[in-house]
Structure 1
Amino acid sequence: MAFIVFFILILFLTCLESAIPYLVKRTVVFGVSIPDQHVTDDKLNRYKKTYTIFVASVSIAALAIFTFWYSTSSPAEEKMVLYGMAIQFGIMLLSIALYFFYHGKTAQRKKAEKWGENVKRIKAADLSARVQDEMLPWYVFFLPMIITIGVLIYTISKYPVLPDQIPTHWGINGKPDAFTVKTPFSAIQMLIILLVMQVMMIAINLSTKRSGIKVSTTNTQATRARQLTLRKYSSWLTFITSVLLTMLFSFFQLSTIHEDLAGDAVTFALPMVFLFLVLAGTIIFAVKVGTAGNNSAGAQPAEGVGDYDEDEYWKGGLFYFNKNDPSIFVEKRFGVGWTLNFANPIGYLIIIVPLIVILVLSFL
């Protein structure tokens, strides 16, 4: 079971990390803004292709070695989990190392070729796109919270019949493998953590909904399509993740109260179904956003006019610091989704504070 889970995770990570250069905006290459007329530059295309081939080759080789090692040695689950996690971290470290290497080469090429120099830079925002915005309203996210609160109230009512040992962790097979002594807090600890996560998801959805819709002056149609797709599908992915987490946590909580709630087959299958649905949703999200606007032809840029590249606000092409931008979240330059505007303190309240609360609750 553990091997299947890690095999799927490593394969998913391999596919995602290998495809990233082709999922970001076409005018952003390894975190560097490229003028529209230079996005087909041969060297830039070679950088992307080399990155993808190298990450995919090394990751597939690691996965093959992991599979061979498992099939020939039948290792203990603890050892397999350790090696599986090590491979995933290795893939991410390789990806980020190659990213910074090609980020530097891309920035050097842009500077050497003087792309974007001696042009009038224009910022553009599409106010009319708000009418087409299909992000879910914030109150929809209260639906899974209502279920969580209901399970919490039910748990409190059943406190006298709860077992003396409360599960605090569940293994890959869906069965508890760590326990703590029953107290009024430990009985509802998992549901409190879930509520904190749900509040954070509401805040993220609200913040992304209020973020600016930035478009290109040379390809307004394509950039509008990408922005609207990103907003719509990130909202849906956040909501579906909240619902799935609620279902999983509620099942674990109710199975603590009623030990015979479900058979071994259901207990075994539920975490796998959760994993499959989350990964499938992430893939659909990445593909939908990565391909949005690809069929929209851009206008011929006017002589001496170009988009404002904002490179000065992106540290290493990954971290966005712009105190003049009221947006809390902005589209990533490497990867698919959103990243914080680290110059806006509200973002820290939305992300960092809930994570600290979750960590504190987990160790209490």
Structure 2
Amino acid sequence: MITAIFYISMLLIMVFIFSILPYITRRTEQFGVTIPYKIYMRTDIKQIRKTYVFYTILLGIIIALLQLCLHIFFRENVQHIGFTINTFLFIILSFFVYLQFHKKMKNMKAKENWPVEKTQRTVIDTSFHLERNVLSNWFYLIPLVVTIGTILYTFFMYDSIPNEIPMHTNVNGEVRYDAKTPFNVLVMPGTQLFMIGLFFFINIIIGKAKQQIHAGNPKVSKIQNQLYRKKWSRFLFISSVLMVLMFLFIQLTFIHPILQKYETPITLVIIAIIFIGSIILSIRTGQGGSRLKIDDDQIDDHMIDRDEDEHWKLGQFYFNKNDPSIFIEKRFGVGWTNNWAHPISWILLLLIIGTAIGIPLLLTNL
């Protein structure tokens, strides 16, 4: 029962996130297509968003019911595998739902000639990246100190650690044990280091990402974008500290087995805090800070952002070999993505994946 509630809840949260994406994206972009600011509130565009939400929720309910059937008719191992399959199935099918609305917006834009009716302009503020828009990277010394403390305490207590240590706990609280070695006791500290490095890197991305300032109101748009970066930078730092503390507690369960009964609830609470916090922040800020209320919010409807739809494949994947930027705001949803025409983007992706897989494998096999 606990497994069923957990898995179905995760699926429904995912459905909620996907369903609100058109509402937290910039008002100058809909389903990966550039649009004039005031078009966003037009009745037919509103209806398109509502229809997208309907189909996304309908798809999510069907997937959740499939997961429920697995818990009613099949064994636990099938339930776990089924959850993974259903998660990817929802992501893939929801992308196809998105594509239908992306095509609809492209056709509507071509039919009504929105770019022809407006003056296109790209706004660049040369002082933007000279101002501090993110937390100082020195803040990440705090979780690093916690990690060093975790390593030192682990080796100080090494002889007291049981010969078999817990390596994995599922949502039912069932624990898998492995024989203790000087290396596998460092899996959690290694994961801590990886998480610190990842959040540190994301903080740099937030600070260096290409600025996107709305041509119709550059002054307000700049302030919104700066506040957006500051808020997400602070949230990610808090998340990094929470994650490091979570892995610290998991490490303590290796050393003090009496704590193992608290591992699952504490882990779920911390993950829930980060997950719910990211959803709330996404809704409050919108993409690029577009939902933040700033005084003097006057829009010049004769100006629109430069149309770069040709560089956004399927409205979500940015390929522009003439753009030196590596990181850029997403077109659909909240956050940043890469310029996939830049080789460094692929190198960074491979490094992150390789490190995430390599650290646990290396430490558990030495």
Shorter chain as normaliser: what TM range? Answer: 0.7 to 0.9
Q: Cα distance 1:75–1:272, how it changes in 2: closer, same or farther (>3 A)?
A: farther
CA distance in 1, matches of 2:137, 2:150: 22
**Are positions 1:248 and 2:249 aligned together?**
no
Query: Which residue is 1:360 aligned to?
Result: 358
Residue identity opposite 1:116 in structure 2: P
Shift of 1:284: 1.3
- TM-score, normalised to structure 2, is 0.87
- TM-score, normalised to structure 1, is 0.87
Q: Are the equivalent residues in 2 in contact too, given 1:148–1:246 (CA < 8 A)?
A: yes
CA distance in 1, matches of 2:30, 2:154: 51
Shift of 1:293: 3.8
Query: Which residue is 1:198 aligned to?
Result: 196
Query: Which residue is 1:7 aligned to?
Result: 8
Runs of 4 or more above 6 Å deviation: none
Shift of 1:133: 5.3
Q: Cα distance 1:19–1:233, how it changes in 2: closer, same or farther (>3 A)?
A: same
Query: Which residue is 1:51 aligned to?
Result: 52
**Are positions 1:270 and 2:247 aligned together?**
no
Q: Deviations over 1:295-350 (max 9, x none)?
A: 77442334xx5321222221211111234444332211112111122234444454
Shift of 1:15: 0.8
CA distance in 2, matches of 1:245, 1:104: 40
What secondary structure does 1:15 align onto?
helix
Residue identity opposite 2:230 in structure 1: K
Shift of 1:247: 1.4
Structure 1 spans left out of the alignment, 5+ residues:
none
Residue identity opposite 1:126 in structure 2: D
Q: Deviations over 1:97-154 (max 9, x none)?
A: 0111211221122122222037553110235666875522111122112111211122
**Are positions 1:187 and 2:185 aligned together?**
yes
Q: Cα distance 1:81–1:269, how it changes in 2: closer, same or farther (>3 A)?
A: same
Q: Deviations over 1:184-204 (max 9, x none)?
A: 222212321321221121112
CA distance in 2, matches of 1:146, 1:350: 26
CA distance in 1, matches of 2:254, 2:103: 53
Residue identity opposite 2:147 in structure 1: T
Percent identity of equivalent pairs = 29
Moved more, 8-17 or 283-292: 283-292
Supply the RMSD in Å over aligned alpha carbons: 2.7
CA distance in 2, matches of 1:16, 1:174: 28
**Number of matched residues?**
357
Q: Cα distance 1:239–1:30, how it changes in 2: closer, same or farther (>3 A)?
A: same
Query: Which residue is 1:285 aligned to?
Result: 281
CA distance in 2, matches of 1:137, 1:344: 27
CA distance in 2, matches of 1:53, 1:229: 32
Q: Cα distance 1:144–1:229, how it changes in 2: closer, same or farther (>3 A)?
A: same
Shift of 1:92: 1.5
Q: Cα distance 1:54–1:133, how it changes in 2: closer, same or farther (>3 A)?
A: farther
Q: Are the equivalent residues in 2 in contact too, given 1:217–1:306 (CA < 8 A)?
A: yes
Q: Cα distance 1:343–1:230, how it changes in 2: closer, same or farther (>3 A)?
A: farther
Residue identity opposite 1:32 in structure 2: V
